Amino acid sequence: MKLLFSIQIKCNSPFNLGDLVHIHGHPASGKTHLLYYLLATCTLPTTQGWDKAAIIFDMDGKFNISRFKQLLVSRLKSSEPIMPIVERCLKNMHIFRPTSSDQLAVTLAHLPKYHAKHFPDIALGMVAIHSVDAFYWLDRFKAEQLRLANLPHSSLQNISSILEALRLSLGSVVVLTDWGLVQRQANVSHNNHPHEAQDNNHPKDLPLIHQITLSLVDADSDDRHTLGVINVSGRPGTRSFTLRIQPNDLFVDAL
């Protein structure tokens, strides 16, 4: 896979089907807008993207469908009618809002049946979880309670294996976003509290094929710039790109 080798051309995708992408970044660093960009690439017709279905798990309520629609319209700068294409993209995208990691696990387990029922004629191109650490503290509390009661862990343990099965069987791109809490707390627990309850089957433990770290460069202007650094599993070095977020548009430029 050649990651972001032609990212200047907005219709090209930086990832292949079956890839796993993990996006890190502090609040307001651009994680949601990068997800908008990837989802647009997934749902737009083949001249602009993949023409495939997408399912989003909006764990923290940050996904704004109106903003995503606005960015779809701005990306379709052509003479052909735009709104029918936008409506088709929105129709091929479903949003779930779980209220716990247990709900997320159950929904993921039934995702193939849901897809077969609602998208029988279109492949599932992307499964996105935004943000994967939204219920981190609740999950840690529940894991500790179960450990003290000598009970097995909840269905959260199945999330990693279910995501991996979806990625391999359906060929879907799996996109996870977080703001780094999981990694920081895992390191603290490992170094300072080795016997503390661990969530060893959290989605963070999936093999990271593409890891993207976002850092906000300019937050004061209307043309907000975010720098992205990409690590590709099995490859030395990093790649970089710039995410430019404007009031009515979104651009991804290679550096």
173-178: strand order across its sheet: 93-96, 53-58, 124-130, 173-178, 20-25, 210-218, 224-232, 239-246, 249-254
Structure tokens at 97: 């809002």
What residue has token string 């599993």? Answer: 233
β-bridge mates for residue 245, sequence order: 224, 250
Q: How far is the C-alpha of 54 from the C-alpha of 175, rounded, in Å?
A: 11
Kindly state the greatest CA–CA separation across the chain. Answer: 64
* Angle separating helix axes 83-91 and 31-43, nearest 10 degrees: 100
List all residues 6 or more positions away from 39 whose beta carbon is below 8 Å from its beta carbon.
54, 56, 68, 93, 126, 128
| pLDDT at position 153 | 63
User: Which domains does the chain show, CATH number per domain?
Assistant: 20-254 (3.40.50.300)
As a residue count, the chain comes to 255
* Alpha helices (H) in the chain, listed in sequence order: 31-43, 65-75, 83-91, 101-109, 111-118, 136-148, 159-169, 181-192
Q: How far is the C-alpha of 211 from the C-alpha of 229, rounded, in Å?
A: 8
What residue has token string 């479903």? Answer: 94
Task: Give pLDDT tens digits along the chain (255 positions).
Answer: 334 333 333 344 567 778 899 999 988 899 999 999 999 999 999 877 899 999 999 998 989 999 999 999 998 877 578 999 999 999 999 999 999 988 999 999 999 999 999 999 999 999 999 998 888 888 888 888 888 887 766 555 578 888 888 888 888 999 999 976 545 444 444 444 444 444 444 455 555 588 999 998 876 667 788 999 998 877 788 889 999 999 989 999 864
Q: What is the pTM of this model?
A: 0.84
What residue has token string 């319209």? Answer: 73
Taking a C-beta distance cutoff of 8 angstroms, is the pair 254, 8 a contact? yes
List all residues 6 or more positions away from 237 whose beta carbon is below 8 Å from its beta carbon.
none
Q: How far is CA 18 from CA 105, 165, 179, 196, 230, in A?
A: 20, 10, 23, 34, 17
Q: Which residues of 173-188 are buried (b: 16+ CB within 10 A; e: fewer)?
A: bbbbbbbeebeebbee
